[in-house]
Amino acid sequence: MENLIPNEEPLRQEYFMSEVNDIIHAKAMDRGVYPTYKVVTFGCQMNARDSEKLSGILTGIGYMEAENEEDADLVLFNTCTVRENANDRLYGRVGQLKKSKEKNPDMIIGICGCMMQEAEEVEKIKKSYRHVDLVFGTHNIYKLAEILFEHLTTKKQVVNVMESAEMIVEKLPNKREFAFKSGVNITFGCNNFCSYCIVPYVRGRERSRKPEEIIDEIKSLVADGVKEIMLLGQNVNSYGRGLEEEISFATLLDRIAQIDGLERLRFMTPHPKDLSDEVIEVMKNNKKICKHLHLPLQSGSSDILKKMNRVYTKEGYLDLVRRIKAAIPDISLTTDIIVGFPGETEEDFLDTLDVVKEVRYDSAFTFIYSKRSGTPAAKMEDQIDPKVIKDRFDRLLKTVQDIAAENTKKNEGKCMPVLVEGKNDHLEGYLSGKLENNLTVHFKGQERLIGEIVDVILDEAKGFYYMGHIKTSEA
């Protein structure tokens, strides 16, 4: 049999998908029903995209998606490890499934993703969570069928974690969460080594996909009805590193914007130190590129930024923002901010407030610093008193909210295009969608509009979102 297994990817995975499909089909004939799966995703949009690939493989080999993990025949936890409490949440969920597996001995439980790149976590699972059947990391998500085949044929726990990855495996199936929008990876990994961040250690070094692979994927998605594309990478601005062809992110962005049928184009996350004037110019000149930029600040203090290893200063960041706003006056800026980094003084915090007040973000993800073992920041002295951090966090949040409310108020009464994303979970008969600036709008409408871009009149600003109504001709 070994002689029949291809060594080249993706042919090797296609072989194992076919083999597992035969096993699943035979079991379904015996039971009279196909087995079910549930992929549970923790973390960022990169993880969400990985989960679509996992779902695509499972669907391709014969599994049907289940409503919840307790009733599924196969459960995969795609993990995040940016914050240590994410690990605790994961173990709680895995522990709860032990009873489900006792009722259904054929149930398969798998854990994959970033957390599995940490050797101590893998050892913990092998020792204390023996009911887990599959363990694999971020670098071999594409090998799910092969890993599952080994478990199905041996009935043993399979641990398959690669320490690093040079190869990017293309053309494997994926199952999109949304029919009308999709994320598309352009890079994997990170070379920045911010002192508080575990990502480079678990996602590996930066690797760029070939531009023709990215463009072909997007053309295929557009042909399948996708209206909005989000380009994904830990640092999209560094796109091109490691490729034979010399190509910048600005050039890739411009090429993608020329694709016929694509209506909206977004990207995240850009690192401020690498955001070039060429990217700003491409954004300015292409109507398809949403006038929204998520530009992580993390801190407004140059001293703290240096300790964070962010490689820019307060002054450099503000200069970049001024250049962006000069080129694109109606740009919407959002950000990430960490409060209470080791050594942060009141003066450092006030520097952060200064930047928030000058930039005037439409929204911000604000975080209280928490130690992440395995990062340089976790070993730093001058950890801040939690009471001090809480006070600063509350002051920052109020400032962000006040500015956001003032910003959104300016658009009241305007008619703006909205990509309708789904039914509102809390308001009967209402839909929810996103403006080009990434803010949410809730409005009455029929479900047939989901996936369409419609004109909505913004009746009332509610801070970080709007209440509105559809322009009469489109209702």
| Cα gap 365→362, rounded to integer Å | 11
CA dihedral (355, 359, 362, 368) in degrees, to 10, reads -10
| Cα gap 24→22, rounded to integer Å | 6
Quote the tokens at residue 322: 């001024």
The number of beta carbons lying within 10 Å of the beta carbon of residue 241 is 13
Q: Give the DSSP H or E segment for 108.
A: strand 108-113
Question: Which are the contacts of 328, defined by CB distance < 8 A and separation ≥ 6?
Answer: 280, 283, 284, 291
| Cα gap 188→301, rounded to integer Å | 29
Cα angle, residue 444 at apex, residues 442 and 450 outer, rounded to 5°: 80
Using DSSP, state whether 231 is helix, strand or coil. Answer: strand
- 190 known ligand binder: yes
Listed in order, strand segments (DSSP E) in 175-227 are 181-185, 187-188, 207-208
Phi then psi for residue 444, to 5 deg, are -70, 140
Is the separation of the CB atoms in 36 and 75 below 8 Å? no
With tokens 């964070």, the residue in question is: 308
Sign of the alpha-carbon torsion through 55, 59, 62, 64: positive
Of the candidates 447, 374, 419, 319, the one whose C-alpha atom is nearest the C-alpha of residue 200 is 374
DSSP string, 126-155: HHH-TT--EEE-STTGGGHHHHHHHHHHH-
Angle subtended by helix axes 211-223 and 249-257, to nearest 10: 30
- Give strand pairing partners of 113: 79
- 112 known ligand binder: no
Phi then psi for residue 65, to 5 deg, are -75, 135
| Cα gap 230→180, rounded to integer Å | 12
- 415 known ligand binder: no
- 290 known ligand binder: no
Is the separation of the CB atoms in 164 and 210 below 8 Å? no
Of the candidates 144, 104, 113, 140, the one whose C-alpha atom is nearest the C-alpha of residue 41 is 113
Is the separation of the CB atoms in 357 and 403 below 8 Å? yes
Q: Which residues are annotated as a binding site for [4Fe-4S] cluster?
A: 44, 80, 114, 190, 194, 197
Q: Which residues are annotated as a binding site?
A: 44, 80, 114, 190, 194, 197
